[in-house]
Structure 1
């Protein structure tokens, strides 16, 4: 049986901009991929204000959106991918695929649709607690995915 897939997106949000800067997702075997995303010019605000986001780093280290989309098509075709339900993940995924005029190859659903015996607030509290226990920095998307994997494991949804 394939493991549930999880996704987390770190993003830049200012008064004039909202765009993804990094993304992590889990694979069928429980491994994880993480990428820094090179922003599309259309995503950048005219005033250049990106808060604490380092644009040069994103441009130098980031993967072009077309490459990211190709990887997501390979890794997550026709999947339901679970997210923490707190961030504008659906909007961010639409931005990524909209930039290349494609539809996402997967559906996004909140973790509360996978783990149904606990309400959203209790799920979020437990996810947050797991991040603290594991010493995970919440702003790293791979840590967000790892915490969701731990949550699913606790609920008996993973074999490993």
Structure 2
């Protein structure tokens, strides 16, 4: 069995809801993947003033949403993936997969289901402290995933890894 797997999503607001713009997830061996998501045309409001998306950046740097969903399915299928529980990660994932006609192949739950004996407020303080200590940018999904890996390590759930190995 590998390491716990974590996921974080960056998103933007539109007039009709939220759209995933970037995401990161960890693999069972501790490696991490990060991707910018190119939105599908039908996801976007008709009025360009009804969203705060940098479409040029997303189109130039992003991967097609279907490719992202397929890669996530291959990497995370049939497992439980943990999120920080602060953002609408679970609903964004469900929406993303559903909008592309795909079932969500993995279970998503919050990190407090993994780390026992610490309430969610204390976990968030601990995660925030790790982000500051390690100079992580909170708006980057890869920083969120790295902080969750550090949290799991410091909680004793990842054995045999020193601070420099994550």
TM-score (norm 1): 0.95
Instruction: Give the equivalent residue in structure 2 for 1:43.
Output: 43
Residue by residue over 1:62-117, the C-alpha shift from the partner in whole angstroms, topping out at 9 and shown as x without a partner, is 11111111111110111100000011111110122112201111110000000011
Tell me the SS of whatever aligns to 1:22.
strand
Structure 2: distance between partners of 1:2 and 1:150:
15
Is the Cα contact below 8 Å between 1:37 and 1:63 reproduced in 2?
yes
Give 1:3-152 correspondences, 5 Å limit. 3-48=3-48, 49-51=50-52, 53-152=53-152
Question: For the aligned residues, what is the CA RMSD?
Answer: 1.1
Structure 2: distance between partners of 1:30 and 1:15:
37
Structure 1: distance between partners of 2:80 and 2:8:
13
Is the Cα contact below 8 Å between 2:97 and 2:103 reproduced in 1?
yes
Is the Cα contact below 8 Å between 2:5 and 2:27 reproduced in 1?
yes
Structure 2: distance between partners of 1:68 and 1:43:
15
Structure 2: distance between partners of 1:66 and 1:118:
37
Which consecutive residues of structure 2, in runs of 5 or more, have no partner in the other structure? 162-166
Residue by residue over 1:5-53, the C-alpha shift from the partner in whole angstroms, topping out at 9 and shown as x without a partner, is 00000000144331100000000100000000001122212221322x3
When the two structures are aligned, how many residues end up with a matched partner? 159
Structure 2: distance between partners of 1:50 and 1:142:
24
Structure 2: distance between partners of 1:36 and 1:4:
23
Which consecutive residues of structure 1, in runs of 5 or more, have no partner in the other structure? none
Structure 1: distance between partners of 2:137 and 2:146:
11
